[in-house]
Structure 1
Amino acid sequence: MPATGRIRTIQRRGPDRPDAKDGPDVKAGASRRDVLRFSSLAAMAAAAGCGEPPETAVPYIAEPDGVTPGEARHYASGIMVSGIVQPVLATVREGRPITLAGNPQHPASGGAIDAFAQAAILSLYDPERETAIRREGRIVSPQSFAAFAWNARARMENGACLAFLTPASTSPTLHRQIAALKARYPDVRHYAHEPGLADAARAGPALSGAPSVISLGADPLGPGPFQVAEARTWAAARRTARQDGSATRLLVAEAVPTLTGSRADTRLPVREDRMGALAQAIAGGTPELSEAERGFVEEARALLDRGEVQLIAGSQLPASVRARIEGLGAPPRHAPLDWGAPEPLETLVRDLEAGEIDTLVCVDTNPVYSVPGDIDMAGLLGRAGTVVNASRHREETSLFAEWFVPLAHPFETWSDGQAADGTPVICQPLARARTDLWAVHELLALFSEPAPPGARDIVRATWRDRLEGAFERAWRRVVHDGLVPAQAVATARRPSPEAAREAGTSRDGLEILFRPDPAAWDGCFTRNIWLQETPKPVSLLVWRNAASIAPATAQELQVETGDLIAIEAQGRRIEAPAFVQPGQAPGTVLLTLGYGRRLGGGHDGSRGYDAYRLRSSASPWRLTADRVTGTGERADLVSTQHHHEMDGHHFVRTVAPGEALHDAIDDGPSLHPDWESGDQAWAMAIDLDLCIGCNACMTACQGENNVLTVGEEQVARGREMHWIRIDRYYEGPDENPQIHFQPVPCMHCEQAPCEMGCPVNATVHSDDGLNLQVYNRCIGTRTCQAYCPYKVRRFNFHEWTSREPDDPPARRNPEVTVRSRGVMEKCTYCVQRIQAADIAARMDDRAIGEGEVVTACQAACPTGAIIFGDKNKPRSAVARAKAEGRNYDLLAELGVRPRTSYLARVKPGEPRS
C-alpha cells in the first residue's frame, strides 16, 4: 500500500479472504471483534485533541488520556449542502458519531441546525456506500487508478485537457487546488453544477433584520443552506418588535405556499410571471393589475413611505426583476461568500460538443441525472476521452463513466468551506473511514503529485499563511472552535455573472415551477430515510413528490389529489400525481426535484417523478406547459395531517399585538386526582408566533431518541413513529388561507389519562412531573394510546430495529432504550439529558442551573420557539413564558393540566407609523 500520509484503517477480515474467521460482509453487519476493533481506533482518534487523529493506529491496550468509556465527547465540524457549510457540533461515543447539533459558538447558527444537516449523520452509516474502485464495471486496485492519474498528468503536460466538474463550493482548499493545477498545466478546466441552488442565491442570506419585509417570490425561511441564518434573523427582529411594542409587517407575493408565506401578514397568491408587473407597480409604474394585486401594491408602497422596509426577490426570478425589486428598500444582507471562478454548465456542454475534453472527472456530482432535460448529458459524456465518476454511490453518471472512484464521507475526512454568514469552517473527521477511501481533496491532488499528502495536510496547507500567530496553536484553536476568526477571511469574490436566463413572457397555458424538494433537495438526500419519512412542510407528504396545483386548477382539469396528470412542455412529457394545494396561485403547477431516480436512489428512490426531464436549461426554474391533462390513473400519496386528529377546538390561538387571551382555560376542574409536584417541575412552552414549521425539531428528536422509520406503506396506515409532530392548519378560504403550524409532543399531563388507563402501570409519573414510559412493563394493550386526547403515543407494530439496516446500532444513542415490537413509546422531554444534568449537579452538590437542560428539539429550533425548563423557578424562561398573556393549554377544557403549553400567534399589526 503506498505511503501517502493519509489516515489508514486496519483491513477487516471478510469471507473472500483466506484468513477469514469471523467477518461477515460489510453490508451484512460487523462482528463483535470488528466493532471492538474499530471503536478502539476511533476512540483514539477522538482522544488526540481537536479531532486530529493519529497517523498510525496502535492497539487499544491502555486507555488514551481524555477518554472515559460511557461519556460522550463533542467535536466541532461541518457538512456542506449546496456549497455552504452547516457548522455542527457532533456527539461522539467511543469513536461513534451519533447525533449532530448546531455549533453554539458559530455566529451563523448559534446552536441551531436544520433537518438536512442533522440527517447527514445517517448517511455516514449507509451500508450501500461503495468501497471499491471500478473500471468499466470491474473492481480494480487503487494502484490502477493512481497509474491512470499519472498518465493523465503526462498527457496534460503535452497539452491535453483535464476538466473537473464539481458542485458549487466555498471551500478555499478546493479553490487553491484548482488554481494550482491551472497554473501548472496548460489546459485544466473547472466547471460547477449546482442544480438545487439558483445562481442569484449564491450571494448569501437576504434578510437584514428590518422590521418590515416585502417579498416577491422569495422563501428565505424555507428549506435550504441559508434557512438557519435567515430564520434566526427573522425571529430576532420579531422578538425585538414585540418587546418595544412596535408593529412588524411581512408582505409576501408568491405562487405556491411556502414557510415564509405561512408567516405573512399579507399574502398574495399570484403567478410567478406577474412578479415583474408587481415590481414595476411598487416602483411607481402603471402596469395593468388585478384588484388583489392593486391592494398588495398599495400596502407595499405605504410601507415604503414609512421607511425601514426591506424588499427581497426570489433568486429564481429574472435578473432584471430582482434588480428592480431589491433596489427599492433596504439592501439585502448578503454574506461575503467566495465561490471561486468555475465555468457554468453551459460552458461544459459547449466544450463537450466540441470534443475538447480529454479527461473529465465528475467529483461528487451526478450530471446525467440532474441536468435539464434538453441536455443529452449521457451522449455528451461519450465525446470526452475518459470519464471518471467519483461519488459515495454508483449513480446514473456511473453508467457512462469508464472509472468509478468511491469517495469518503465528509465526516470521515478533512475539508473546509464557508458558512452562510461567510465565516470559514474547518471540517474535521468524526470517524475513520470503513475502508481505504479517497477524500475529494486527495483525489484532486492525485492529478498533480505522484504521492499526494493526506486531506489533513492539504487543508492545513491552505490555512498556513492565513491564520494569525503561531500556526500550530492557531490551527488547534480553529479546529476546536469550528470556525476561523473573521480577520483570517480572505477577500471574497462575488459569483460570476449568470447566464442570461430571462423567462419568457406569459402565454396561454399553465405555468410550471421547479423547486428543490424539502426532503430530497436536488436528489442528494433521496437515500436518507429520516428525511423521506419526515412530512414535508405545508403538504405533509412523505416518501415521494407530487405535482402541486391550486383548487381552481384542479377543478378545471377535473382531477383530485392522487390523480395522475400528464405534463408536456417543449416536446418532453412526464406523469405525476396531483396534489391539490390550498393557497396556490391558479394556473400554476409546482414540480419538485430529487425523485424518479433511475439508479442509485436507494429505498425505492424511483418513487415519484423526475422533474429534471422537463426542466429547460434556458429557463431552469419556470416554463409554460404546452399541455396538462389527466390520465385517468391514480397513485397513492401519503399525507400525515389527518393521522392523529384531536377531537376539540382552538388548537392554534391568535391575539392582537400587545393583547392577551381573555378566554384561556387554566387549571379547570378535573376527574383525575391532583398530583403533588416536587421541588422541580419540568415544563415546556412553544411559541407559535415564532414557529415556522421547518421540521428541525422532528429530525433532532429522531436522532436523539432512536426513533425508527417504518416505510411508506406503514405510514399510510397511520403508524409513523415520530415522538413530535407538526400539525398544519388552514384558516380561511382555499384560495388564500392563513397557514398555521403547531408542534405537538407529549403534553406530560399533571392528571394524565394514560396513567389511569394502563393496566400494568407502565406509564407513570415522576417526582419532577414527567410522564414516563417503562418499556419493560408495557404489554402492548394500547390502552394509554386510546386514553390520550393528544394522540402522541406510538405503538411498535413490527420489529423495526431489525428491519432498518440504514440506522444500525452503531449510530444509536446508548442513553436511550431501543424499543421493541409490542411496546408503546412517546416523548420523554429528553429524560436522559435531565438525568445527566441531575447527576452532574449532585456530584457538585448544587441545584440544576437555568438552561443546563436543553431538549433536542429546543436545541435545534432556529427561531427559539421551543422553551424548556423548571417552571417552579419564577425567573426561568419557561416560567416567564407561561406567565405571558399569550400562554394557553391545548384542549384545556379536558382538565388534564398539561405541562406543555403554547404561546398564541400574534395577529397582523398595523404598519409602523
Structure 2
Amino acid sequence: MKKHWKSLAERNTKSDTHSKNDIPKGNLEQLLDIFDGDQSASKSNRRDFLKLCGYSLAISTVLASCENSVQKAIPYLIKPEEITPGKANYYASSYVNGSDYCSILIKTREGRPIKIEGNDLSVVSHGGTSARVQASILGLYDTNRYKFPKIEDTKASWEELDQEIRKTLEAFKNSNEKLVLLTPSIYSPSSRQIIKAFQQAYPNIDWIQYDSSSSSAMIQANEMCFDKTGISEYRFDNADLIVSFDADFLGNWLDSVEHIRQYSKKRKLSDANTSMSRHIQYESRLSLTGSNADYRITVKPSEQALLMAQLYNEILILKDKDNYQLTDSSEDIKELAKELWKNKGKSLVLAGENDIDKQVLVNAINFELENYGITLRVDKQLKTKQAKDEDMEDLLSDMKSGKVKGLLCYDVNPVFDYYKGSELAQAIKKLPFSVALSKEPNETSDLFNYIAPDNHYLESWNDLEPRTSRYSLMQPGIRPLFDTRQFQSSLLAWMGKETDYLKYIQNYWEQNMYPLQAAYPNFISFWQHTLQKGVFEPKTDSVFDTKFSHQNMDELMSEISKLSASDGVELQVYESIAIGNGSMANNPWLQELPDPITKVCWDNYLTISPKQAAELDLETGDVVELNSKAKFPVYILPGQANNTIAIASGYGRTVCGVVGKNVGVNVAEWISFSGQTRQNITGNVKLQKTGEKYELAMTQTHHSMEGRAIVKEATLSEYLNNPAAGNEVDHEFDNAGIYEKPNFPDHHWGLVVDLNSCVGCGACSVACQSENNVPVVGKKEVIRAHEMSWIRIDRYFSGNEDNPEVFFQPVMCQHCDNAPCENVCPVAATTHSSEGLNQMAYNRCIGTRYCGNNCPYKVRRFNWFDFTKADSIPNNLHDIAEMTIDLKRMVLNPDVVIRAKGVIEKCSMCVQRIQDGKLNAKLKGKPVKDGEIKTACQQACPSGAIIFGDLNDKESQLVKETTSKRNYHLLEEIHTLPSVSYLTKIRNKISNQT
C-alpha cells in the first residue's frame, strides 16, 4: 500500500492504516505528484492546486482523527468516601531520606500524590521544606525503581524470596557465621525495636549504621565532654551572636530546614522589632551559610583548629581562668572573644568539620560562654545521625578477612559514596550471601544476590523521632505502584512473624506513646488524632544538668599549638544543596536546580579562587587534572580562600536512571580516614591544566543588574538611624506614567519578598515547578538560556572579589499594573485581570515572543520544544501503551494547564490556588481571610521570606510590609507598577567596616 502523509514526521512513521484507495485516486495522485515535484503535475493552474490543497486538508483531518488514541475515563462505580473528584485531599506524613527529615503534608488528587507541603504543626520543621523535600514527589513515579523481587537478577515472587532467605539465615545461624545488617541512622522507634527483635531471632547478625555524610565527630565529642552520646539540639532563634567555623547550617549541615526557620526568625526586622542577630562565618569555600553572614573571613581548613584554640584561650583569659601557652592571637580573635563574652548565654559557636578535636573545642567554648541550656542542649538531641565512622572501618576489615559471610543492606550506597567503595565492592562480590533492600538500583545493590525492593516513603507507614521526644508519623498517600514491600515488613517476614507493619506500629504506640498523654480517653481516638496531625510532641520534664569534663584538654591544646597552616593546595569535598549525597541523582528537578552560589546545574566542578586561577592561567570552563587521577572543569568562585579548592559529592553515578547516570565525577575517593573519623579535607593536592574546555550550564549569566538598583542594602546601624536607609529614592517615580493608575475594586493580589529573610536555598523554585507543571529542559537547553523555571533566584556579588558580599533575590513575574508585555501582544494572549494579575491565555498565544522581548524583568519563558509531550500524538499501539503507563505524568497538577511548544508561560501567582481560596470562602459565606491563600513558593519557603495577600486588605500582613520604608519595586523608573515588591537587605555590621 502506498503511504499517505501530511508531514515529513507522519511520512516517516512505521504505522500505516490508510491507503490511497480510501480517496479518489486521481486527485490524490495529482496532489502527491505536485508535492513530490513532478513536472507534468506542476502544469496544473493555481486554482486547481488550491482546490487540491483544501481537499487534502479535509482528508488529512479525517486520517488524523482515526489515528488519535482513545482516551477512556473510568468513573467510580463505588466512590471512596474520602475522595471527591476535582478536590484535593491532604495526608499528614513525614519525609525521610537517610538523615534528611521533614514533617509534611501529601497533596493527592484522585488518589495520586502530586505535591508536598510542610506541616505547620511540627515544632521541628515549622511548615518549612527544602528543595529535596519538594522534589521527592518525583521519585515516586521514577520508572527506574525496582518493580519486583529478584533472585540472582531473575524475577521472583515474594514467597520464593522469603523462603530462600529464611532458609539461608537459619543455616548461618546454626553455623554461627557472622552476618551484618547495614542501614542508615534509624530514628524510627518501632523500626529499632524490629531490628532488635531480628537480632534476637538471629544472634549472629550485627547491626551497623552508616551515614554517607558523617557527623561521627560530634557524637564522640559529646560523649567525651558530657558523657552523652548524640548530637546537641541547636537553637539559632535564641542566639544574638553566631560564630561558625565551616558549618554550613543553612545548607547541608544537620537539619537545614529547622535551622533556616530559626535563623531567619532572629533576623526579621519591623517597626516593632529593630534588633537582629549577628553572624560571623569562618570558611574556605563560599557556602550558602557564608554568603548570608554579616562578616565572612576566608581561612584554609588547616588554619581553623588553631584559630578556635586561640578563641578558647582568649575567653579563658576574660574569665580569669587558667589558660594555655599559644601563639599570640590576632586582634580580630581578641575582639571576637570580647564580643562573645558580652553575649554569653546568648551566643552559639559551631564547627562543621568531622574532626573530634574541633568539636571538643567548640563544646568547651560554648560551655565557658554559658550557652548550654539556652542556645544548645545536650539532653535534647538530634537523632537523625547516629553512625560512628569506626564501625564502617571495622565492617570493611571483617569483610576482607572473611569474618563476615553475608550482608543485608538497606537504603545505603557505600560502594558509591564510601571513600573505599572499590574495596567494598570487591569484598561484596566474594560474599556467599547478600540481600539489598533498596528502592532503586544503585552501585551497591547491583552487586547483591537477592533484591527485596523497598517501598517509596510515599507508599509507606513509619514512625520517627528526629528530636528527643518529638515524634511524627508517616502514612502512605498511595498504594505501592510496584510489587515492593517495606523494609520492616521484610524483616518481620524473615522472622516468621505477621508482616503488617501498620499493626506493629499501632501496637508499639499503644504501649509506649499513648501513656505519655492524657488528652484522649482511648487509644483509637489518640491514634486517629495523631495521624491527622502527623506529629506527637508530649510535654516532658527535662532537668538540664550539663557539666563539661575533658581529661585530655591540656594534651589537646598542646597538640593544636604545634599546628601550622599547610603551604600546599587543600581540597574540600562538600554536598551540593540540590543532589546531596547522590541518592536523588535521578531526579531531573534537582539536577536542573542551579547551585545557589555558582548558579551551575547538571554538573559538579572544581571551584578555585580568582587569585589562584590567575596564577595557573585558568578560566571558568578550563579542565584541570587533579593529582593525575581525575579531570574536572574549573569554576572561578569569588570568595574562595586562596590555595583551596572544593568539589561537590553526589555526582558521577554509574548505576542510576537515565537522568543521573554519568553526570559529573564521583569524588568519594578524595575523602580520607584520620584518627577515628572520616575527613572531607585533603592536603597538598596538585592541579594540572589540560588545555581542554568544558561548557558548564550556568543560569546567572542570563540576567544582570546592568548597574541598576535591583538589590538595595544597608547596615543595621544605618537602618536604625533611618528606616529608609538604602532605599531613599523609593517611590520617586510614582507619577511618571502617561496612563492613569488602574483601580481594582475587589481584590488586588500582590507579593512581598523580604531580602533579609531569603537565604537562597531554592525550595521555592522546585515548589513552583511541582505546583505549576514547569518542565525540565536539560543541560543543552539551559546553556542556550532556554530554562523554564518560573521563579529564579538571582545571586549578586559586591565588593572585593577575594571576599565579596553576596545577595540573593527571587525574581518572578512582577504582575505589573502597567505591564509592557500586554501592549505588544498582537493576539491579546497576555492580559490583565480585574484582580491585578497578568494572565496568559495559552491557546491564544502564537509564539511571537514580543512580550518576552518587552519584559524588563526577563521572567517570561518560551516553550521551544514539547517538553511536557502536551501535543504528542501516538503513532502506533506501542506508543499508546507507553503513554498509558508513563508514570511521570501522574505527578502533573490537573488544576494547571499543560503547555505545549510554541507558547509563552510565566508565574501566574498560583491563580489556581487563588480561585480555590475564593470558592472556599464563598461556600462559607465569608470574605477571603488574610493568610488563607498561599502561593506554592510562599508555602515551601522555610524562612518565611515570601508574603502573599490582597493589597486591598489594609489589615493584611502584605500591606504592612508594602508600607514599610524598606519596601521598593524593581525598576520603578519605568513605571510598570509591579504588584511584587521587595524589602531592603540589612546586614548587622558597622557601617565603615567591610
Q: Any unmatched runs of 5+ in structure 1? A: 1-29, 41-59
**Residue 243 of structure 2: aligned partner:** 214
Using the TM superposition, give the Cα deviation of residue 487 of structure 1 relative to its aligned residue in structure 2, in angstroms.
4.7
Question: What do the CA deviations read for 1:463-514 (whole angstroms, capped 9, x no partner)?
Answer: 231122522222222211111232599999x9xx9xxx99997433211111
Distance in 2 (alpha carbons) for counterparts of 1:326 and 1:551: 35
Distance in 2 (alpha carbons) for counterparts of 1:421 and 1:237: 23
* 1:664 equivalenced with 2:716 (yes/no): no
Distance in 2 (alpha carbons) for counterparts of 1:125 and 1:718: 28
Using the TM superposition, give the Cα deviation of residue 309 of structure 1 relative to its aligned residue in structure 2, in angstroms.
4.2
**Residue 551 of structure 1: aligned partner:** 610
**Residue 453 of structure 1: aligned partner:** 499
Secondary structure of the residue that 2:700 maps to in structure 1?
coil
* 1:152 equivalenced with 2:211 (yes/no): no
Q: Which of 613, 628, 633 is the matching residue for 2:692?
A: 633
Matches within 5 A, 1:527-538: 527-538=586-597
Matches within 5 A, 1:100-249: 100-158=116-174, 159-200=176-217, 203=231, 205-208=233-236, 209-223=238-252, 226-239=255-268, 243-246=272-275, 248-249=277-278
Instruction: Name the CA shift for 1:538/1:342 in 2 (closer, same or farther; >3 Å).
Output: closer
Report the more deviating stretch, 251-260 or 838-847. 838-847
Distance in 2 (alpha carbons) for counterparts of 1:824 and 1:348: 56
Instruction: Name the CA shift for 1:788/1:489 in 2 (closer, same or farther; >3 Å).
Output: farther
Paired residue total: 848
Distance in 2 (alpha carbons) for counterparts of 1:289 and 1:131: 63
Using the TM superposition, give the Cα deviation of residue 197 of structure 1 relative to its aligned residue in structure 2, in angstroms.
3.9
**Residue 333 of structure 1: aligned partner:** 376
**Residue 381 of structure 1: aligned partner:** 428
Distance in 1 (alpha carbons) for counterparts of 2:446 and 2:413: 11
Distance in 1 (alpha carbons) for counterparts of 2:271 and 2:573: 36
**Residue 332 of structure 2: aligned partner:** 295
Q: Which of 259, 265, 288 is the matching residue for 2:294?
A: 265
**Residue 94 of structure 1: aligned partner:** 110
The question of whether the paired residues in 1 share the 8 Å contact of 2:436 and 2:451 is answered with yes
Distance in 2 (alpha carbons) for counterparts of 1:247 and 1:433: 47
Report the more deviating stretch, 632-641 or 325-334. 325-334
Using the TM superposition, give the Cα deviation of residue 184 of structure 1 relative to its aligned residue in structure 2, in angstroms.
3.0
Instruction: Name the CA shift for 1:195/1:32 in 2 (closer, same or farther; >3 Å).
Output: farther
| Higher gyration radius (CA) | 2
**Residue 756 of structure 1: aligned partner:** 823
Report the more deviating stretch, 861-870 or 791-800. 861-870
**Residue 580 of structure 2: aligned partner:** 521
Letter in 1 for 2:179: L
* 1:720 equivalenced with 2:787 (yes/no): yes
Letter in 2 for 1:479: L
Distance in 2 (alpha carbons) for counterparts of 1:526 and 1:359: 28
**Residue 902 of structure 1: aligned partner:** 982
Using the TM superposition, give the Cα deviation of residue 314 of structure 1 relative to its aligned residue in structure 2, in angstroms.
2.7
The question of whether the paired residues in 1 share the 8 Å contact of 2:303 and 2:564 is answered with no
**Residue 832 of structure 2: aligned partner:** 765
Distance in 1 (alpha carbons) for counterparts of 2:286 and 2:97: 23
Distance in 1 (alpha carbons) for counterparts of 2:167 and 2:572: 45
Distance in 2 (alpha carbons) for counterparts of 1:644 and 1:227: 28
Distance in 2 (alpha carbons) for counterparts of 1:306 and 1:604: 47
**Residue 880 of structure 2: aligned partner:** none
Distance in 2 (alpha carbons) for counterparts of 1:738 and 1:453: 56
Distance in 2 (alpha carbons) for counterparts of 1:421 and 1:263: 29
Q: Any unmatched runs of 5+ in structure 2? A: 1-68, 219-229, 315-324, 515-520, 551-555, 873-882
Letter in 2 for 1:663: V
Letter in 2 for 1:203: I
Using the TM superposition, give the Cα deviation of residue 64 of structure 1 relative to its aligned residue in structure 2, in angstroms.
2.6
Letter in 2 for 1:687: D
Question: What do the CA deviations read for 1:51-81 (whole angstroms, capped 9, x no partner)?
Answer: xxxxxxxxx5322323211110100011113
The question of whether the paired residues in 2 share the 8 Å contact of 1:888 and 1:904 is answered with yes
Using the TM superposition, give the Cα deviation of residue 673 of structure 1 relative to its aligned residue in structure 2, in angstroms.
4.9
Q: Which of 535, 538, 542 is the matching residue for 1:486?
A: 538
Distance in 1 (alpha carbons) for counterparts of 2:980 and 2:542: 47
The question of whether the paired residues in 1 share the 8 Å contact of 2:143 and 2:887 is answered with no
Using the TM superposition, give the Cα deviation of residue 620 of structure 1 relative to its aligned residue in structure 2, in angstroms.
2.7
Q: Which of 645, 648, 652 is the matching residue for 1:589?
A: 645
Matches within 5 A, 1:367-406: 367-373=414-420, 376-406=423-453
Identity %: 32
Report the more deviating stretch, 750-759 or 334-343. 334-343
Report the more deviating stretch, 87-96 or 158-167. 158-167
The question of whether the paired residues in 1 share the 8 Å contact of 2:461 and 2:501 is answered with yes
Distance in 2 (alpha carbons) for counterparts of 1:339 and 1:110: 17
Q: Which of 460, 465, 471 is the matching residue for 1:413?
A: 460
Distance in 2 (alpha carbons) for counterparts of 1:453 and 1:788: 59
Distance in 1 (alpha carbons) for counterparts of 2:507 and 2:736: 69
**Residue 689 of structure 1: aligned partner:** 756
Q: TM-score, normalised by structure 2?
A: 0.81
Q: TM-score, normalised by structure 1?
A: 0.88
* 1:539 equivalenced with 2:598 (yes/no): yes
**Residue 15 of structure 1: aligned partner:** none
Distance in 2 (alpha carbons) for counterparts of 1:287 and 1:814: 66
Letter in 1 for 2:215: A
Distance in 1 (alpha carbons) for counterparts of 2:779 and 2:492: 43
The question of whether the paired residues in 2 share the 8 Å contact of 1:793 and 1:826 is answered with yes
* 1:311 equivalenced with 2:321 (yes/no): no
Report the more deviating stretch, 780-789 or 459-468. 459-468
**Residue 879 of structure 1: aligned partner:** 959
Using the TM superposition, give the Cα deviation of residue 278 of structure 1 relative to its aligned residue in structure 2, in angstroms.
1.2
Distance in 2 (alpha carbons) for counterparts of 1:447 and 1:687: 54
Distance in 2 (alpha carbons) for counterparts of 1:421 and 1:100: 25
Instruction: Name the CA shift for 1:340/1:867 in 2 (closer, same or farther; >3 Å).
Output: closer
Distance in 2 (alpha carbons) for counterparts of 1:154 and 1:901: 67
More helix by share: 2
Letter in 1 for 2:955: R
Question: What do the CA deviations read for 1:344-396 (whole angstroms, capped 9, x no partner)?
Answer: 31121122123222221111111211110476111121343311122122221
Question: What do the CA deviations read for 1:852-897 (whole angstroms, capped 9, x no partner)?
Answer: 1111111111111111111122211110001111011111111111
Question: What do the CA deviations read for 1:227-251 (whole angstroms, capped 9, x no partner)?
Answer: 1110111112123797443353111
Secondary structure of the residue that 1:324 maps to in structure 2?
helix
Secondary structure of the residue that 2:494 maps to in structure 1?
coil
Using the TM superposition, give the Cα deviation of residue 299 of structure 1 relative to its aligned residue in structure 2, in angstroms.
3.4
Distance in 1 (alpha carbons) for counterparts of 2:540 and 2:512: 6
Report the more deviating stretch, 273-282 or 661-670. 661-670
Letter in 2 for 1:148: E
**Residue 471 of structure 1: aligned partner:** 523
Secondary structure of the residue that 1:143 maps to in structure 2?
helix
Letter in 2 for 1:482: G
Letter in 1 for 2:358: V
Distance in 2 (alpha carbons) for counterparts of 1:171 and 1:266: 39
**Residue 250 of structure 1: aligned partner:** 279
Instruction: Name the CA shift for 1:191/1:519 in 2 (closer, same or farther; >3 Å).
Output: same
The question of whether the paired residues in 2 share the 8 Å contact of 1:119 and 1:528 is answered with yes
Question: What do the CA deviations read for 1:698-730 (whole angstroms, capped 9, x no partner)?
Answer: 111111111110001001100111110000000
**Residue 862 of structure 2: aligned partner:** 795
Secondary structure of the residue that 1:820 maps to in structure 2?
coil
Matches within 5 A, 1:825-844: 825-844=905-924
Instruction: Name the CA shift for 1:73/1:897 in 2 (closer, same or farther; >3 Å).
Output: same
Instruction: Name the CA shift for 1:87/1:171 in 2 (closer, same or farther; >3 Å).
Output: same
Report the more deviating stretch, 696-705 or 653-662. 653-662
**Residue 599 of structure 1: aligned partner:** 655
Using the TM superposition, give the Cα deviation of residue 149 of structure 1 relative to its aligned residue in structure 2, in angstroms.
1.9
Question: What do the CA deviations read for 1:674-719 (whole angstroms, capped 9, x no partner)?
Answer: 3222221111111101110010111111111111100010011001
